[in-house]
Chain A
């Protein structure tokens, strides 16, 4: 099982599942990160965290701890 946090910069993947606490996973899904959607890792911040992804045509930043709750293929 791979999570979004393990992907390298530039990698693309499809979301399989959003786990994690209800508040965070709910927010992520509301922002469009739901199963089936494709995401791309754009970059990581200077200190290695957070990361920037591209989803549904816009840029979204999240911490690695949140990216770890997103299972991708």
Chain B
């Protein structure tokens, strides 16, 4: 606690220092030290962290923010260290959230996390100057630093000879060359960290001494208003680094085009670059769709079987219904998406780790910036065509909070796979066998139109949001294009499973609660007869077309379904359906469709099963089911006119393109934005847009004589 943070309130500082010393003593007794791992993005920090901690990692968020907090135990010779993985950083100037968190960790301001005893700085030997910039800043925090010199092998291949002894001498801190993948240098690194923690030595900082801003008592801590002083410091650090670099690195011969440049010659080529990008993305999404379907169906059937098992083994009653229809069906419906999420994150990690992601952003930034978004927003949006949940989670790569929020807010407009059952049902009922110009099927054109509508509305929404409530200067696009590297299998897998775990934990809690609430709405108040609901099929997701599994058979089933239907009419959800009927009448919907709409706010595909219950055709319908389709076609109003017309079907589809009907997405948006107001804003604006568009469709259609 010396001069570096002199402007902090001294009294607090003393208290903290005392507390810290006490903690440090306790730690010494327990022989556990705190080590923070810092480094530039792409400096090999994650691989190093995984090698040092093995599989014992804890991942959480820093309180109140979405910055990930990764921690693990690193076994040293006769002691163990709590290893804190800081976010990847270029600097510590506290202009971004990541930087702020890192700075708080380094000053011991994070709750339950004492100031680190040692900082291990992962420094990329192939990119020494810029990597050392962060090191100079960390040193200004007066914490002992040990440099782990990564990519040492890659540097040698590039004919860069980094003299680590000389480097250590000039910086006055230990420098240990490591090749994390092969576990080379790990023992030396442990020894250096143990020694540094014991000696608590910090070097003199010549770049501060040389410059005139470091007069006794003058504050050094930076703020935006002290631009000139801040810039001076950046110069001073880089000047020092340049000297160090010249003395410790030898270019054996002037490097010609390296491997990365050659790869870039193709992958970011003016013409082939875009074609390859499209091909890679097609491959990724095709794989996600086709590979994920098998485990998804298995999971779906598994939860169905589990539901049936619980149904028969527990005594009938509210508890049974709650567990089967509320909890298993609700949570199971979300878990079904896990294979898609795992695969998507597998590909995201590979693309990110190999360095390709930065290139994709580079190629597409111009397009994305036209609507005010960052180039990095492209991939999350594309992912959202499979499912908005992983798409929204993938927005974490966008640093600027406003850009990230704008991307999150438009991601659900992409037509996800859960909308397909709805589109298929509507097209199946009213648009089959029709063609335009004799060869184009109306169904295919409508399907394409629905996807296009989502994209167009997303572009307009992004445009408007970025110019109004999310107004911010166009996001700076100053981005490193890291050298291409072979992704590390372990890092990729670990990343994939960590994210999947987070998804389960996060979405699980909120989704459980909402599932129970929705279940209760359709379940209460109860009819006189307590025996109903018994044979209800418990799988909520009916994705597999034409696959009716285990339908209750015979008259009994019909009876039960009829009772179910009556139950639904009188339930709170049924009452709500009647209640909202005046509102949805201008869209051509009656109260029964209203009930289905309300239920489908849990998940879009629930519309199909809810309509089946309402129309008495049994819950076990799929979107291509003949009986549901004929029931829909036959449904009449009191005056004998059909409820459903092709126009009603189109209106419903338009509504489903735009409405925020997915509690899993709502839960994830809540977690990712850390704000209920943004989450509710999103639900409100999307639903309003959906209503408006559906209204225009129906009333406009009627005006032109359709319906």
Does A28 count as interface, using CB distance less than 8 angstroms? yes
Q: Closest A-chain residue to B158, C-beta based?
A: A57
Q: Check if A62 sits within 8 Å of B231, measured CB to CB.
A: no
Among the listed B91, B126, B365, which residue makes an inter-chain contact with A50, where contact means beta carbons less than 8 Å apart?
B365
Q: Check if B95 sits within 8 Å of A27, measured CB to CB.
A: yes
* Proximity bits, A15-38, B CB within 8 Å = 1, else 0: 000000111111111111011010
> How far is the CB of B81 from the nearest CB of chain A, in Å?
29
Q: Is the interface of A mostly helix, strand, loop or mixed?
A: mixed
By a CB distance below 8 angstroms, the chain A residues around B365 are: 45, 49-50, 61, 63
Among the listed B126, B230, B478, which residue makes an inter-chain contact with A31, where contact means beta carbons less than 8 Å apart?
B478
Given contacts A27-B95, A47-B367, A63-B369, 10 further A-B contacts (CB under 8 A): A26-B230, A32-B129, A45-B362, A46-B366, A48-B366, A58-B482, A61-B365, A61-B477, A62-B479, A63-B476
* Bound complex: CA A25 to CA B228 (Å): 12
> How far is the CB of B581 from the nearest CB of chain A, in Å?
50
Q: A22-B224, A61-B362 are in contact. Are A30 and B93 (CB under 8 A)?
A: yes
* Bound complex: CA A58 to CA B479 (Å): 11
Among the listed A26, A48, A61, which residue makes an inter-chain contact with B479, where contact means beta carbons less than 8 Å apart?
A61
Q: Check if A57 sits within 8 Å of B260, measured CB to CB.
A: no
Q: Check if B95 sits within 8 Å of A26, measured CB to CB.
A: yes
Q: Check if B234 sits within 8 Å of A60, measured CB to CB.
A: no
Q: Which 6 A-B pairs have the closest CB atoms?
A: A47-B366, A59-B481, A30-B91, A56-B129, A63-B477, A24-B476
* Bound complex: CA A8 to CA B688 (Å): 49
* Proximity bits, B359-383, A CB within 8 Å = 1, else 0: 0001101110100000100000000
Q: Check if A62 sits within 8 Å of B235, measured CB to CB.
A: no
Does A66 count as interface, using CB distance less than 8 angstroms? yes
* Bound complex: CA A42 to CA B270 (Å): 13
By a CB distance below 8 angstroms, the chain B residues around A31 are: 90, 130, 478, 480
Q: Closest B-chain residue to A51, C-beta based?
A: B362
Among the listed A26, A37, A52, A57, which residue makes an inter-chain contact with B127, where contact means beta carbons less than 8 Å apart?
A57
Does A65 count as interface, using CB distance less than 8 angstroms? yes
Q: Residues of A at under 8 Å CB distance from B?
A: 21-32, 34-35, 37, 42-43, 45-50, 52, 56-63, 65-66
* Bound complex: CA A23 to CA B270 (Å): 30
Does B582 count as interface, using CB distance less than 8 angstroms? no
* Bound complex: CA A71 to CA B252 (Å): 32
By a CB distance below 8 angstroms, the chain B residues around A32 are: 129-130, 133, 238
By a CB distance below 8 angstroms, the chain A residues around B481 are: 52, 59-61
Most buried by B among A27, A30, A42: A30
Most buried by B among A24, A32, A58, A60: A58
Q: Closest B-chain residue to A33, C-beta based?
A: B478
Q: Is the interface of B mostly helix, strand, loop or mixed?
A: helix
Q: Check if B366 sits within 8 Å of A50, measured CB to CB.
A: yes
By a CB distance below 8 angstroms, the chain A residues around B363 are: 45-46
Which residues in chain B, 313-346, are within 8 Å of chain A measured between CB atoms? none
* Bound complex: CA A23 to CA B130 (Å): 18
* Bound complex: CA A35 to CA B636 (Å): 78
Q: Check if B129 sits within 8 Å of A34, measured CB to CB.
A: no
By a CB distance below 8 angstroms, the chain B residues around A34 are: 234-235, 238
* Proximity bits, B269-291, A CB within 8 Å = 1, else 0: 01101100000000000000000
20 contacts between A and B (CB under 8 A): A24-B476, A26-B93, A26-B95, A27-B476, A29-B234, A32-B130, A46-B366, A49-B366, A49-B369, A50-B375, A52-B264, A56-B129, A56-B130, A57-B126, A58-B130, A59-B481, A60-B480, A63-B476, A63-B477, A66-B478
By a CB distance below 8 angstroms, the chain B residues around A47 are: 366-367
By a CB distance below 8 angstroms, the chain A residues around B230 are: 26
Does B641 count as interface, using CB distance less than 8 angstroms? no
Does B105 count as interface, using CB distance less than 8 angstroms? no
Which residues in chain B, 89-139, are within 8 Å of chain A measured between CB atoms? 90-91, 93, 95, 126-130, 133
Q: Closest B-chain residue to A46, C-beta based?
A: B270
> How far is the CB of B663 from the nearest CB of chain A, in Å?
38
By a CB distance below 8 angstroms, the chain B residues around A23 are: 95, 224, 476
Q: A49-B366, A52-B268 are in contact. Are A29 and B479 (CB under 8 A)?
A: no
By a CB distance below 8 angstroms, the chain B residues around A58 are: 126-127, 130, 480, 482-483
> How far is the CB of B672 from the nearest CB of chain A, in Å?
24
Most buried by A among B128, B366, B480, B482: B366
Most buried by A among B90, B91, B130, B367: B130
* Bound complex: CA A16 to CA B128 (Å): 23
* Bound complex: CA A62 to CA B478 (Å): 5
Among the listed A25, A30, A43, A59, which residue makes an inter-chain contact with B260, where contact means beta carbons less than 8 Å apart?
A59
By a CB distance below 8 angstroms, the chain B residues around A59 are: 260, 264, 480-483
By a CB distance below 8 angstroms, the chain B residues around A21 are: 473
> How far is the CB of A63 from the nearest CB of chain B, in Å?
5
* Bound complex: CA A58 to CA B91 (Å): 16
* Proximity bits, B60-72, A CB within 8 Å = 1, else 0: 0000000000000
Does B586 count as interface, using CB distance less than 8 angstroms? no
> How far is the CB of B449 from the nearest CB of chain A, in Å?
27
Q: Check if A60 sits within 8 Å of B479, measured CB to CB.
A: yes
By a CB distance below 8 angstroms, the chain B residues around A24 are: 476, 478
Which residues in chain B, 226-278, are within 8 Å of chain A measured between CB atoms? 227, 230-231, 234-235, 238, 260-261, 264, 268, 270-271, 273-274
> How far is the CB of B250 from the nearest CB of chain A, in Å?
13
By a CB distance below 8 angstroms, the chain A residues around B130 are: 31-32, 56, 58
Q: A30-B234, A57-B129, A61-B481 are in contact. Are A52 and B366 (CB under 8 A)?
A: no
> How far is the CB of A69 from the nearest CB of chain B, in Å?
10
Does B642 count as interface, using CB distance less than 8 angstroms? no
* Bound complex: CA A27 to CA B128 (Å): 18
Q: A21-B473, A23-B95, A46-B271 are in contact. Are A28 and B227 (CB under 8 A)?
A: no
